[in-house]
Amino acid sequence: MKTFMKTTLAAGVAASFLFSAAVAQDLAPLNSDTEKNRMDWSELEAKLGPFPKLPEGTKAGAVSKTLTNEYWRSLGEGYASFGKKVHVPVVYQAAQSEGDQLGQLTIAEGMITQGYNVLLVSPQTDANLQPVIEQAKAAKIPVVNVNDAVIPQAEHYVGNVQRDNGVRVAKWFIKNRPQGGKVAIVEGQAGVYAAVQRTDGFKSTISEGGKFKVVASVPGNWDRQTSYDAATNILNQHPDLVGFYANNDGMALGIVEAVKAAGLAGKVAVFGTDGISDAYSSIKAGELTGTVDSFPVLTGEVALETALRLVAGQKLPRVVATPQALITADNLSRYQGANVDVRAVLMEDAKAAK
């Protein structure tokens, strides 16, 4: 039965992709990192004006990968926060696990029939929610692809530059480990846009100059235990490793435990991606070296604002880029704390980057 369901899902996705390509020849397959039709999140009001008046009774539906990962719960907090601000109810649902592609598709398809004015979707893979694009288009419901897998025919995407996550970590190693050495990568789910881009950004940047060697790049499938096991094997083979880069924080925290178990704490640098609270706590404790925070609460707020501006009839670029920052013990207090206004800090970062 499971094999049949997977085959049916794959066939449906393939058929939908071909149909989508046929009817939307003017819409090139989306590469959210390099798409030229884009704006920065900090420019929304400056370029589009104050938040517009919405049709009476507007409501939004959102579908996430899973709620077992803090990142996706935080994204939902962002949706709820902005929805409350503009008096728009948001229903947020997710699959049971990050591998439940069919379950996520079923949730998304169900939302199309429930009267939502816009859908925000965070696909588990680049393909599993492809059928929803055409179904929503037929129902005249705009869809916004929100981090981190990318549906090729998505008309609108909100999220950060995935490749830059890996680039930032690689630059830290180049600056802080000038002697070079062996490094390893623990990747997310195979074939997912974010995992591919994060890995490539790190690998290509760390290889510049010839001082570092990537001795392993293995799948962790977004899973902490899988990543612990992978890191343990890598450290057994390469006890002189100088560092790891993981495609998300859950995997990075599993790697931290493997490093400690190997008696290499303080000797092997470990970086993750996402900026979840456990990552910040681990950095404060001197265990995790750093994370690339992509600020999921703010991303949720920006994504819902983008989606509702579409509902109001505004024309937006295909990509709205959200912020990210490399967090270590050196700058952690700038981005987290009781008196920290993260939005204001990130707006300062955006202005400084121009």
As a whole number, mean pLDDT of residues 56-61 equals 98
CATH topology match: 2-158+297-322 vs 162-293+348-353: yes
Q: Does the pLDDT value for residue 162 go beyond 60?
A: yes
Indicate the pLDDT class of residue 14, thresholds 50, 70 and 90.
very low
Task: Name the residue among 224, 205, 223, 222 with its Cα closest to residue 214.
Answer: 205
| Per-residue pLDDT at 13 exceeds 50 | no
Whether the ω angle into residue 349 lies within 30 degrees of 0, i.e. cis, is: no
User: What is the Cα–Cα distance from 74 to 295, expressed in whole angstroms?
Assistant: 9
Note the residue count of the chain.
Answer: 354
pLDDT (tens digit per residue) in 67-126: 999 999 999 999 999 999 999 999 999 999 999 999 999 999 999 999 999 999 999 999
Rounded average pLDDT over 302-330: 98
* Residue range 330-336: mean pLDDT, rounded: 97
pLDDT value, residue 354: 83
Best CA proximity match to 270, nearest among 278, 282, 281: 282
Residue 320 burial (10 A CB sphere; 0-12, 13-18, 19+) = buried
Percent of the chain with pLDDT over 90: 90
pLDDT in tens, 240-261: 999 999 999 999 999 999 999 9
CATH superfamily of 162-293+348-353: Response regulator (3.40.50.2300)
Domain boundaries, the chain: 2-158+297-322, 162-293+348-353
Query: Tens digits of per-residue pLDDT, 258-315?
Result: 999 999 999 999 999 999 999 999 999 999 999 999 999 999 999 999 999 999 999 9
- Where does the pLDDT of residue 8 fall: very low under 50, low under 70, confident under 90, or very high at 90 and above? very low
Residue that the structure tokens 């991606």 belong to: 273
Tell the CATH topology of 2-158+297-322: Rossmann fold (3.40.50)
- 3-class secondary-structure state, position 320: strand
In this predicted structure, the answer to whether residue 19 has a pLDDT above a threshold of 90 is no
DSSP H stretches of helix in the chain: 2-23, 44-48, 70-86, 101-112, 130-138, 162-176, 193-206, 224-237, 249-261, 277-284, 296-311, 332-335, 342-353
Q: Has residue 2 got a pLDDT over 60? A: no
Each residue's pLDDT tens digit, 217-248:
999 999 999 999 999 999 999 999 999 999 99
pLDDT at residue 33 in the model:
97
Question: What percentage of the chain exceeds 70 in pLDDT?
Answer: 93
Mean pLDDT over the full length of the chain: 93
Does residue 137 carry a pLDDT above 50? Answer: yes
Q: What is the pLDDT of residue 1?
A: 42
Residue 12 has pLDDT above 60, yes or no: no
